[in-house]
Chains A and B, each alone.
Chain A
Amino acid sequence: MPALIATIPIPRDLPLPLPVPEWLLVVCLVVFFLVHILFVNLMVGGSVFVVVAEWMGLKNKRWDALAHEIAQTVTVNKSLAVVMGIGPLLCINLLYTIQWYSANALTGHAWLLIIPLVIVAFLLTYLHKYTWDTWAKGRKKTLHQAIGITAMLLFFFIPVIFLANVNLMLFPSEWEKVRGFFSSLCIGNVLPRYLHFMAASIAMTGLFLAGYFGRKNADISHLDDFTCPELRRLFYKVCAYVTLGQFALGPLVLFTLPSDGITTQVYVIIFSGAAVGLLTLWLLFGELRRDDTRIGSRYWPIAALFSIVVFGMGSGRHVYREAALAGHKAAIKNRTERYAAALADFNKNLAAAPAPAGQSAEQLFMNCAVCHAPNVKLVGPPLTEIAQIYAGNPEGIVTWAKAPGKKRPELPQMPPFNHLGEASLRKIAELMLEKGATSK
C-alpha cells in the first residue's frame, strides 16, 4: 500500500557516531530526567499548594503563613528544575536526534514560546514571594493572589509543550497530520499523561513538604498555629490520597498508550513498579495511623520506595519508547547506511577519475559571465566596454579583479576574486579582451 508507506518519514541520521556508548546515554537520560522531573514536580505542585493555602489564609491567617513558607521552596526548586533539565536534554538530543528535533520543529511556535513563558512565570513567582508582606491587605492582597494564580497557570501550561514533544516524537507515522502545536495534542495520549504528571506533582510535593516541615532542625516558629507533626500529617495525607488516585490514572495512561510500543517487558516493568507502589502506599497509610510522637519515623523508607517506583516508571517509559521507535530507528539506520554507501561510491569514483587538467579560460569565465554579458549591461558593464577601457592591458583587469573599487554609482560594487589566483585571472582577462573585441 504505497499510500500508507508514504506517510512515514524516514530521514537520514547525522553521519556522526555517538560520543559515548549508547547504554551510558540511556542510563544518563533515565536518571537525569527523573531528577529534573522531580524538581519540576516540586515547582508545579508547590505553586498549587501556595495558591490553595493563600486562599485558605483569607479565613484563617495560619494558612497564609504556611503558603508564604511554601513559596520560599518554589523559587529554589524552579532554578534547580531548569539547570537539571539540561542534562536530559543533552541526552535526548543525542539518542533521538531525528525524532526529537522533528517534534520540536512541528510544534515550533510553542517550543519557542517556552523561553518567554518560563521567564514570565519565574518573575511572577519572585514577585509573589517578595511582595507577600507588603501586599497583604484589601485590593493589594487580591492582586497578590492573582499573581500567584497566574504563575500557577503558566506552570500548568508549560509542561504541556514538553509533553506534546515527548509524545509526538514517538509516533513518526502521525507527523504528516500535524499542523502546529495544538493539532499535535490529538496524537497519542497527551491528556492522560498530563493528568498523571499533575497528580505526581501534587503527590511528590506533599511528600517533600512532609519531610521539609518534619525535619529535625525545621524552624517553624513563625508558623504559630501549626505543629511539626500536624504539618507532617497534613502533607502525608495529600501524598497518600493523590497517590491512591494514581492507581486509577496510571492504568488510564497505560491503556490509552498507542499499541506501537506495548511489549510484555513494558507490562512487567510497569506492574512491578505498581506493586512497589502498593507497598509504599501501605506504609504511608500506616504512618498516618501513628500518633504525633511517632509519625514520620518511616519517612526515609517511604522516600526510598517512592524512588524505586519512579525509577520503575521511568524505565518502563524508556522501554516503551524504544519499542515504539524500533521500526523507525531501523528504517533510519537502513536509509542512512544506503545513503552513506552511495555517497562513498560516488566519492571513490570522483577521486579515481583523472584530475581535471586546470579549468579552461571559458570555464573560468563562467564566474564573470554572471554579471558581464558580451554587449548588454547585466549587473556590471558589458565586455565591449571593458575591452575598450583595458585594450592591450590584461594586467589592468587582473589588478582590478583582485581588489575592485567602486567606479559606477548606479551599479553594485564588484566582489574581489583574489581566490582564483593570478594565473587564472590572467587567462580570464585575455579571454575577456578577445570576446569584447569580437562582439559588437
Chain B
Amino acid sequence: MDFPSFYLDHLAGGRLIIGLIASLHVLINHPLAVGAYPLLTWMEWWAHKNNRPDVDHLAYRITFVVFIVTTTVGAMTGVGIWLSTSLFAPFAIGSLLRVFFWGWFLEWLVFISEVALILWWFLSWKKADKPEKKRKHIKIGVALSIMSWLTMALIVAVLGFMMKPGEWNQTRAFWDAMTNPLYLPQLGFRTFFAVMTGAVFLWFSSFFFTKKKGALNPDPRRLREWIIYRLSHVVLISLLGTYAFGTWYWNAVPETMKANSSVALLTQEFMSWHRQFQTLLGWTLIAFLMVGVGGLDRSSMIPRWALLIPTVLSIWLIGHFERAREFMRKPWVIGEYMYSNGVHKDELAFLQSEGLLKHATYVKHREITESNKVECGQDIFMLACSRCHSTTGLNGVIEKLTAMYGPDKPWDSAGMQLFIKGMHQTRTFMPPFPGTDAEAGALVAYLQQLRTHPQTLPGAQSAGIVIAPEALKPSKIADSQPTL
C-alpha cells in the first residue's frame, strides 16, 4: 500500500523470479561451497601428508572452478534474493530487516570472512611451496570450510524464525528459531546433502582434469581411480547422514505442522508435498547409492553421464524441499503478523471497515463510483492480489476463477463477491480480503472485465505511479505536507 507496486504480470507477479534466483543460489551454495570446501581441503591435506603433488594439483584445479562459480553466480544470486525481494515485497523485507536485524548483521560478518578466506585460499595456493607454508595454507581451507557452513547454519536459523509464528517479539526469537523442532534435522539434512552432492561434483569435474598426462599429473588413470574410490566413500557415508536427517525431518514435520497450523487445508496441501518429498528422497538416495557402490570397486564402469542422474534428482529434491518449506508460511509472510499481501494482522478489521482505497498511497480514486469502478478494482487487485497472482498469466486469477465457475457460462458477480469475502475460509492459504464490500464489488467488476477483455497489467516500473489526494480535510493537508 505504501510502496509503488513493481509487478511482472505474466510471471505471477514476479515471485517466480525470487524463486529462481534463490534456487540457483542454493544449488551453488550447497554442493560447491558447503560441500566442496571441506572435501577439497581434505584432498590438499592428504596430498601433503602422502606427498602426492598430482592430488594437490587436481584439488587446485577443481578449486579454480569452485572459486569462479561461487564468487560470481554464487555471490550475486545471494545478493539477488535480497534485491528481488526488495522489488516484489518491500513491506516484507523491510519488516524482516527491522525484526531480525542482528541475525542478518551477524550473517554478513561471517560472509565477509568467507569471501576473504576463499580469495586468500585460492590465490595463495601455488605460493605455498614449503611444508610449513603448506600447513598454514591447509588451515585457511579449514577456516573457510567452517565459515561457509556457518553462513548456512545462520541463514537456516533466519529462515526458521521468519516462519515461527508470533514469537519473534519475545526477547529470544533467534534462539527460538534455533530450537525450532525442524532446525536441527533441516541443518543436518542440508549439511550431509551438501557433502554428498559436493562429492559428486568433485567426481564429475575430475573426469575433465584427468584426461591428459602432465608434469603434475604423470599417471591420470591412477589419479582418477584414487579420487573416485575415495569420493565413493564420502558419497556413501554422507548418504547415510542425508537419509537419517531426512527421515528425522520427515517425521518431525507432521508434529510441527500440527503445532503451527490449525488449518486443515494447509496441512492437507502440505502433507501431499511432504509425501512427494519422501518419494523423491528415496529415489535420490538410491541413485547416489548406486553411483557410490559402483565407484567403490569398478570406478571405470561408472560413465560420466551416469553422474548426471543423481545430480538431476538432487536438484529436483532440493527445489521441492525449498518450495514446501516456503509454502508452510502461507497465508503469512511473517507468521501471525503480516499477510503475504503486506496487510498487518491488526489492521485487517480496520481496513475491512474503512477501505483500502482510503488508506493506500498509490491509487487513482478514493471513492468508488459507477464510472470508475473498474479502475478502482484494478488498484485493489494490485494492492490485495498482485503479490501472488497474475491477471491472465501464471497463477492467474482468471484461470483460477474459470476452474471454479466454468469457461462457458457468465459468472455471477454477486456469487464472486461473496466468494472473495469468504475466500480465506475455503482457500486457507490465502489471506482474508482486506477491503470493504464495495471494494470487493469493484474488484469483481475488474475481474469480469478482465475475463472479457484480457489485458496485461503494467507495474510501477513501466507505468509509473498515480497518487490520489489523501482523503483528509483541507486544513489537515496543509500541515502534513513538507515545505519544499
Q: How distant is B60 from chain A, measured CB to nearest CB, in Å?
A: 13
Interface window among B48-56, B97-105, B132-140, B200-208: B97-105
- Chain A, interface SS category: helix
Known: A5-B469, A10-B480, A83-B111. Is A94-B412 also a contact (CB below 8 A)?
Answer: no
A18, A181, A416 interface centre (most CB from chain B within 10 Å): A416
Nearest residue in B to A2 (C-beta to C-beta)? B469
Enumerate A254-270 residues with CB–CB distance to B below 8 Å.
Answer: 260
A192 part of interface (Cβ distance < 8 Å): no
Q: Which of A5, A11, A181, A347 contacts B477 (CB 8 A)?
A: A5
* B144, chain A: closest CB distance, angstroms: 14
Q: Contact partner of B482 among A93, A326, A378, CB < 8 A?
A: A326
Q: Does A426 contact B (CB under 8 A)?
A: no
Whether B405 contacts A105 by the Cβ 8 Å rule is no
Instruction: Tell me if B468 and A419 are in contact (CB < 8 A).
Output: no
| CB atoms of B94 and A106 under 8 A apart | no
Q: Bound complex: CA of A19 vs CA of B468, how far in Å?
A: 33
A102 within 8 A of B: yes
Residue in chain B with minimal CB distance to A28: B105
Stretch of B76-84, B158-166, B240-248, B278-286 contacting A (4+ beta carbons < 8 Å): B76-84
Stretch at the interface among B250-258, B303-311, B343-351, B368-376: B343-351
A423 proximal to B (CB < 8 A): no
CA distance A13 to B76 in the complex (A): 29
Q: Is residue B428 contacting chain A, with contact meaning CB distance below 8 A?
A: yes
Bound CA–CA A339/B265 (angstroms): 34
Q: Tell whether B123 is near chain A: CB-to-CB under 8 Å.
A: yes
Please report the C-alpha to C-alpha distance between residue A147 and residue B63 in the assembled complex, in whole angstroms: 24
> How far apart sit A179 and B4, CA to CA, in the bound complex (Å)?
12
A417 to B265, CA, bound (A): 8
A124: nearest chain-B partner, CB-CB:
B72
B-chain residues with CB within 8 Å of residue A7 when the two chains form the complex: 467
In this assembly, does B466 line the interface, its C-beta being within 8 Å of a C-beta of chain A? Answer: yes
User: Known: A83-B111, A176-B465. Is A115-B84 also a contact (CB below 8 A)?
Assistant: yes
Does residue B483 face the partner (Cβ distance < 8 Å to A)? yes
A360 within 8 A of B: no
Interface residues of A in 369-399 (CB under 8 A from B): 369-371, 373, 378-379
Of A85, A178, A350, the contact of B464 (CB 8 Å cutoff): A178
Stretch from A60-68, A209-217, A300-308, A327-335 that touches the partner: A327-335
Query: Which residues of the partner chain B approach A373 to less than 8 Å between Cβ atoms?
Result: 415
A342 / chain B contacts, CB cutoff of 8 Å: 350
Interface residues of B in 99-140 (CB under 8 A from A): 99, 101-102, 104-105, 108, 111-112, 115-116, 119, 123
What is the CA–CA distance of A299 and B6 in the complex, to the nearest angstrom?
Answer: 48
* Chain A residues, CB < 8 A from B62: none
Q: Is A89 interfacial (CB 8 A cutoff)?
A: yes
Does residue B403 face the partner (Cβ distance < 8 Å to A)? yes
A76 within 8 A of B: yes
Distance in angstroms between the alpha carbons of A106 and B465 in the assembled complex: 8
A161-187 vs B: 1/0 string, CB under 8 Å?
A: 000000000000101111111000000
Judge whether A118 is part of the interface by a CB distance below 8 angstroms.
yes
B84 touches A366 (CB 8 A): no
Query: Which residues 315-370 of A have a CB within 8 angstroms of B?
Result: 326-328, 330-331, 334-335, 338-339, 342-343, 346-347, 350, 366-367, 369-370
Q: A175-B4, A366-B418, A415-B427 are in contact. Are A19 and B90 (CB under 8 A)?
A: no
For residue B5, CB closer than 8 A to chain A, the reply is yes
B-side contacts of A409, CB under 8 Å: none
- Number of A-B residue pairs having CB atoms within 8 Å of each other in the complex: 237
Closest to B108 in A: A86
In the bound assembly, the distance between CA atoms of A178 and B347 in angstroms comes to: 31
Would you call B3 and A102 a contact (CB within 8 A)?
yes
Q: Are A108 and B98 in contact (CB under 8 A)?
A: no
Structural contact, A180 and B461, CB atoms closer than 8 A? yes
Contact A105 B2 (CB under 8 A): no
**Are B80 and A94 interface neighbours, CB within 8 A?**
no
Q: Judging by beta carbons under 8 Å apart, are B4 and A415 in contact?
A: no
Question: Which residues of the other chain, B, contact A80 by a CB distance below 8 angstroms?
Answer: 115-116, 119
A12 and B108 form a contact (CB under 8 A): no
Minimum CB distance partner of A260 in chain B: B484
B94 to A331, Cβ gap below 8 A?
A: no
Closest partner residue, chain A, to B403 (CB atom): A412
CA–CA, A328 and B466, complex, Å: 18
- For B89, the closest partner residue in chain A by CB is A101
The residue from B17, B421, B422 contacting A112, defined by CB atoms under 8 A apart: B17
**CB-based nearest A residue for B412:** A378
In contact, A82 and B75 (Cβ under 8 angstroms): yes
Establish whether residues A5 and B481, one from each chain, have CB atoms under 8 Å apart when the complex forms.
yes
Contact with B along A1-35 (1 / 0, CB 8 A): 01001111111111111111000000000000000
Q: Is A279 an interface residue (CB 8 A)?
A: no
B264 adjacent to A419 (CB under 8 Å): yes
Contact A126 B72 (CB under 8 A): yes
Asked whether A42 is an interface residue with its Cβ less than 8 Å from the other chain, the reply is no
The complex places the Cα of A342 from the Cα of B6 at a distance, in Å, of 28
Nearest Cβ distance between residue B1 and chain A, in whole angstroms? 8
Distance between B409 CB and nearest chain A CB, rounded to angstroms = 10
A105–B3 touching, CB < 8 Å: yes
B419 and A101: CB pair below 8 A? no
Q: Determine whether the beta carbon of B462 is less than 8 Å from that of A173.
A: no
Q: Does any Cβ of B come within 8 Å of A114's Cβ?
A: yes
Residues of B within 8 A of A338 (CB): 480
Is the CB of B71 closer than 8 A to any CB of chain A? yes
In the complex, the answer to whether B76 meets A123 with C-beta atoms within 8 Å is no
Judging by beta carbons under 8 Å apart, are A416 and B268 in contact?
Answer: yes
- A343 surroundings in chain B (CB, below 8 A): 346-347, 350
Is A85 touching B87 in the complex (CB atoms < 8 A)?
Answer: no
B182-205 contact mask (Cβ, 8 Å, vs A): 1 or 0: 000000000000000000000000
A9 B480 Cβ-Cβ under 8 A: no
Q: In B424-470, which residues have CB < 8 Å from any A CB?
A: 425-428, 459-470
| Distance of B354 from chain A, by nearest CB (Å) | 8
Contact status A115-B101, CB under 8 Å: no
With A14-B98, A378-B415 in contact, do A9 and B362 touch (Cβ < 8 Å)? yes
Contact yes or no, B123 A76, CB < 8 A = yes
B468 engages A335 (CB within 8 Å): no
Q: How far is the CA of A15 from the CA of B350 in the complex (A)?
A: 15
| Contacts beyond the supplied A10-B481, A327-B481: 14 A-B pairs with Cβ under 8 Å | A9-B362, A19-B102, A84-B112, A93-B93, A97-B94, A105-B459, A115-B79, A115-B80, A119-B76, A173-B484, A181-B461, A326-B482, A350-B349, A419-B428
Report the 9 A-B pairs with minimum CB-CB distance, sorted nearest first: A327-B482, A108-B461, A11-B2, A19-B101, A418-B264, A101-B90, A115-B80, A122-B72, A108-B6
List A residues at the B interface (Cβ < 8 Å): 2, 5-20, 76, 79-80, 82-87, 89-90, 93-94, 97-98, 101-102, 104-109, 111-112, 114-115, 118-119, 122-123, 126, 173, 175-181, 260, 326-328, 330-331, 334-335, 338-339, 342-343, 346-347, 350, 366-367, 369-371, 373, 378-379, 402-403, 412, 415-420
Listed by A's residue number, 10 A-B pairs whose Cβ atoms lie within 8 Å are A8-B482, A19-B99, A90-B97, A94-B98, A106-B460, A108-B459, A328-B482, A334-B480, A350-B349, A415-B427
